Chains A and B, each alone.
Chain A
Amino acid sequence: MDKDFSPAPLDDQDLNTLFEAAQRDTPELDPEFLMRLQAQAAAAVPQSAPQTATAPVVSKALWGRGAIWRLAGRGGLGHGRGGRGGHRYQPTGCSVGHHQRLFPNRKPQRAYRHRV
């Protein structure tokens, strides 16, 4: 009598074995890709909402004479040394746009108008 050599159909246990193998075989998320996604998420935070980011907060008390140079010095944007001693601001490549954002109503001065 002929014997049937075809394998028995897969049962639930066989399928579970395959599913478990597929779970283990799933690659992990690339850490660099995750960082990009996090940057995207941070950028997608609604702009109208109050921000919790660590943007510099400028106190009005700083807005005395020479404040811009002190700020520029703190931010590494030039050679400002705190305003004392009358050091001249020497632009070192900072964008005009940056200053325009800090002082929107202020007329650009000759010292950095050459960058325009």
Chain B
Amino acid sequence: MALDASQNLEDAELLARFAKGDRTAAQVLTARLAPLVFAQAFRMLGDRAEAEDVTQDSLLRLWHAAPDWQPGQAKVTTWLYRVTSNLCIDRMRKSKRHSGEEVPDMPDEGPDMERRLQDRARAQALRAALGDLPDRQKQAMVLRHLEGLSNPDVAQVMQISVEAVESLMSRGKRSLAHALTPQKKALGLKDDG
């Protein structure tokens, strides 16, 4: 199928075409989904190399599942978020690594370098604090606040109730606030207290 026509198709339709042997669908789907998977993995693991490994594993699992994919069983992205989350948790448990350990390249110089440096400091502090949360809390916080999923979508990904998501979120926020309050000034957050 032509590349342009494939760009407009839904993920599930592309996956069905993939299963029927459409290589263009495979390429379009990869270009669409890989950045999402990578971003989620990086936000959970804080390490580019590990995030790339997880991205590769997640997509391979999707290709493996494609021939048996039932239309309407779940959104492809929901399924992928779940697989990616589980792979990240497995890695965190095995390596006992916490996110925020990597020191990525410094932002290039430019007019908004100061803002990007501040973003970097804030992101690293947040990743470190997230890394200290229990796995499920961290998973819920990343999906809700970094990936932008709704609470029902988070619940679907984690296969728990919306109430359980809200509970995880509430406890996660309390823990983050507690861990990050001492750095409030250093992170450039206004202190009204």
Contacts and interface: CB of A to CB of B under 8 A. Distances in A.
B120 A25 contact: yes
A59 interface: no
Interface stretch (A9-17, A79-87, A95-103): A9-17
Contact of B48 (A27, A40, A50, A52): A27
A46 B193 contact: no
B182 A41 contact: no
Contacts of A15: 145, 173, 176-177
B26 A49 contact: no
Contacts of B38: 29
Interface in A35-74: 37-38, 40-42, 44-46, 49-53
Given A7-B191, A27-B48, A41 B30 contact: yes
A47 to B, nearest CB: 8
A49 B18 CA distance: 9
Contacts of A11: 177
B192 to A, nearest CB: 6
A21 interface: yes
Given A27-B104, A42-B26, A22 B146 contact: yes
Contact of B192 (A8, A12, A25, A28): A8
Contact of B127 (A17, A22, A27, A42): A22
Which 4 A-B residue pairings sit nearest by Cβ, starting from the closest?
A8-B193, A49-B21, A25-B123, A21-B122
28 contacts: A8-B181, A9-B177, A9-B178, A10-B181, A15-B176, A15-B177, A22-B119, A22-B127, A24-B116, A24-B119, A25-B120, A25-B122, A25-B123, A26-B43, A27-B104, A33-B52, A34-B34, A37-B34, A40-B63, A42-B23, A44-B60, A45-B23, A45-B63, A46-B20, A49-B20, A51-B23, A52-B1, A52-B21
Given A9-B177, A41-B27, 20 more contacts: A7-B181, A9-B181, A14-B177, A15-B173, A17-B189, A18-B180, A21-B118, A21-B120, A22-B146, A25-B124, A26-B43, A30-B52, A34-B35, A37-B30, A38-B26, A41-B26, A41-B59, A44-B26, A49-B20, A49-B21
Interface of A: 6-12, 14-19, 21-30, 33-34, 37-38, 40-42, 44-46, 49-53
